[in-house]
Structures are given as structure tokens and as C-alpha cells.
Chain A
Amino acid sequence: MAEVSSEQRSQQRPLSPHLQIYRPQINMVMSILHRLTGVGLYFGSLLLAWWLFAAAAGPDYFAFVNGLFTTWLGLIVLVGCTWALIHHMLGGIRHFIWDSGAGLDIPTVDLLSWGTIILSVILTAGLWFYVALERGWFSL
């Protein structure tokens, strides 16, 4: 076999189309979101650990952390984290269905992908509506 340098090889090989070529499709967007929500939750786990640590540390430190978490910015981050959690969980279910070999035809792929995003938003909204109502942040 003739020797081919890696430089020549990369010159000769055509590049496969990448993100900027493809028209976004819902299953592709959900795939990217699954990875992004995973990264978000990776760092979000620090918030859970911090909050647990604050509860264990004592009243003053808990009041400080709880105060930060219940500011507008804190709540936006928390809502984002719970949405990421729910979206990633639903995405996981979708991947389990695909792992079994089922649901790989295009209509089902589209249905599962749309289902993931729609259900994740509905469940997150429901969760925080419940929290806000229970804590008396607003009343009906």
C-alpha cells in the first residue's frame, strides 16, 4: 500500500455536511438540547449540593442561600434547571425507546421529539405554578 501522509489524506477527503448545511430538524434540535441540558444539569448539581450544605450548615447560612435562590435571578436559574431536568429525563425515555429498536420511523421520531419539548415545558410550568401557589407567592 502506498504511503499517504495525513496532510494529503485530509486534502483528498470530502467533508460531510455539518450543522450550518442542514436545515434544523426537530429530532436534531432535541439531540442537541439533550446534550446541552445534560451540561446544564452537570453544573446545576452544584446548586443542589450547595442548598443541602446550607441546610446542614445552620440558620444564618441557609437564610443567605435561600435568599439568593428566591431572588428573581435565582428563580430563573432554578426554573431553567428543573426544565433541563425534566427535558433530559423525557429525552432519556425517548432514547430507551430507541435503544429497544422501536419508534425509529420518521413520524414516530418526530412525534417523540415534539412530545419531549412540549411535555417538558408543560410539566415545568405546572411544577412552578404549584410551588408559587403553595408558598403563597401569589394567590388565585
Chain B
Amino acid sequence: MVLVMTMITPLKRVRGLGSAKEGADHFLKQRLTAVANLILTPFLIWLIATLAGADLASVKATLSHPLVATALIVLVLSVAIHMRIGMQVIIEDYVHSEGVKMFLLLANTLFAFGVAAIAIFAVLKLSFGT
């Protein structure tokens, strides 16, 4: 028997394709969005400080400002990607039943995209709507 010292699985060795080359994908995306979040979170805290408990007129006036609206949309996108990866890691850490895991991973993606869609729609409507 020939002992081949290799990191790839037997199936991968037969196919000769090597790894999928996406091993670091989540690691890098999580840190890229973390940098974006680090820039945008102080903005969100400013927004909360300015608008928490404020009346609708001031909320509308602030949120329809082009810079605020743009920053908020970028924040929502970055946060949605970041929290989707984060929750995926948690699900994969703790849920070992294959069926439940698949369901939760699916729900996780739908939740992240759903929250992002609602928030972005609302910001756009506040900017462009009547």
C-alpha cells in the first residue's frame, strides 16, 4: 500500500480537483464586513443618539438626507452579510442533526436578506417616497 501524505480526501484525490479554494472565504468576508461595521457603527450610534424617541418629522428629515440614507443602506448590507456568517458559524457549532442544521441555515439566510430588504426599502421610501 502506498501511503500518500496529503491533506485532501480520497474522493478529491480521485477527482484531481484539489480544494474548492473557498476555505478562507468566510474568514475574509467576516473581517471585511467587520472593518466596514467598525466605520459605520459610530454612525449608527450617532443616529440612535439623534433620533431615539424623536418625532416623525425629525426622523424623516434626518433619514432622507442623502449621506445618512447612503450610509444607512451600506450599514444594513454590511451588517446583513456579517450577521449571516456569524449565525452560520453558531449553527454549525451547536446543531449536529443534518436536517435541522439545513433548515436553520436556510432560515438564517432568509432572515438576513429579509431584514436587509425591509430596512433598505424603508430608507429608499423615506428618501424618494411622497
A binds B: yes
Chain A residues with CB under 8 Å of chain B are 35, 38-39, 41-42, 45-46, 48-50, 52-53, 55-56, 59, 62-63, 66, 69-70, 78, 82, 85-86, 89, 92-93, 95-96, 99, 127, 130-131, 134-135, 137
Interface positions of B (Cβ within 8 A of A): 31, 34, 37-38, 41, 44-45, 48-49, 52-54, 56, 59-60, 63, 72, 76, 79-80, 83, 86-87, 90, 111, 115-116, 118-119, 121-123, 125-126, 129
Q: Is the CB of A56 within 8 A of B121?
A: yes
Contact indicator A78/B122 (Cβ below 8 Å): no
Chain A residue at smallest Cβ distance from B45: A127
| Complex contacts, A89 vs chain B, CB 8 Å | 37-38, 41
B53 adjacent to A46 (CB under 8 Å)? no
13 A-B pairs besides A42-B83, A89-B38 with CB distance below 8 A are: A42-B87, A45-B79, A45-B80, A45-B115, A50-B118, A52-B119, A52-B126, A55-B60, A59-B56, A82-B45, A92-B38, A96-B38, A99-B31
Whether the pair A55, B56 counts as a contact (CB closer than 8 A) is yes
The main secondary structure of chain B at its interface with chain A is helix
The CA-CA distance from A56 to B125 in the complex, in Å, is 6
CB distance from A100 to the nearest CB of B (A): 11
